[in-house]
Amino acid sequence: MLELGLVLSGLFIATTSMAVGIGGGILWTPLLIFAYGLTPQEAITTSLLIQVVGMGSGSVAYYRAGLVKTRLSLLFFLVALPGVIIGSFITVNLPQETVQMALGIMSMTLAILFVTSQEDIQEDIIDTTSQNYIKEKIAPILPIPAFFGFIHGSLSLGIGEWLIPALRNRLKLDMTTSIATVIPMMFLLALVASLIHYFVADTIHMKYFAWGAAGTLIGGQIGAHISRRINERILKQSFIYLMTLTGIHLIFQAI
């Protein structure tokens, strides 16, 4: 029963993550804490490794579709990398209650962001076949991966949910191209963070990782394929409710 639950969770979380560009850690980490009894540090490390599989699967699918802006994705990865490394080393020494409180606050913040964000842009009118962008438009976006790289390394939370609105509003990329550009970046960052967490703290649970990754591998492909067909508004509203409830529960558990 445990194995089936992990596979189905991986299928659902990866499909959702790949379809809307969010990091799977915002769902995996609370699930592993509440449903499977892992400590926050154990859940973060296991979550990161599972994300490597899901993000890798999704990256392959998006690359095959020719949707990834390689230069942008690599640039965001390099900007976020120092924060990921620092965050990964710091979190293993934090008290569990602190980590859990931080997870709850970030979940609530993410829900509020989704409520207030104005992503329904009609003018998706840049040349999405080009890899060249005006530096003046990219520079204001770079603090997002720089800061949330630290959050990703320390709490296993994604960067896409913060970066995609900027790509949509600032660069006028369409939703699918924004997601396709962010996913490979998050794959590389999750790989770096998971390796640091594993070697520093050695808190991975291989059983949870193996079964969760199995579902994630399939979900990564499905999510990438349905990203252009999904009813984004319904999924967004469902995500808001889920993050609000998760955030409240995490905060109360930490008090």
Distances (CA, A) of 251 to 48, 169, 243: 22, 32, 12
Distance CA 135, CA 149 (A): 21
Give the residue from 213, 240, 250 showing the smallest Cα distance to 20: 240
Angle between helices 40-64 and 175-201 (to 10 degrees): 140
Delimit the domains of the chain by residue range. Answer: 2-118+134-254
Q: pLDDT 10s digit of each residue in the chain, 255 long?
A: 677 888 998 888 888 777 776 777 778 888 888 888 888 888 888 888 898 988 888 899 889 888 899 999 999 999 999 999 998 888 767 776 777 787 778 777 777 776 666 544 444 444 444 545 566 788 889 998 998 888 888 877 778 877 887 887 788 888 788 888 999 999 999 999 988 888 886 666 788 888 888 888 888 778 777 766 666 666 666 667 766 776 776 676 666
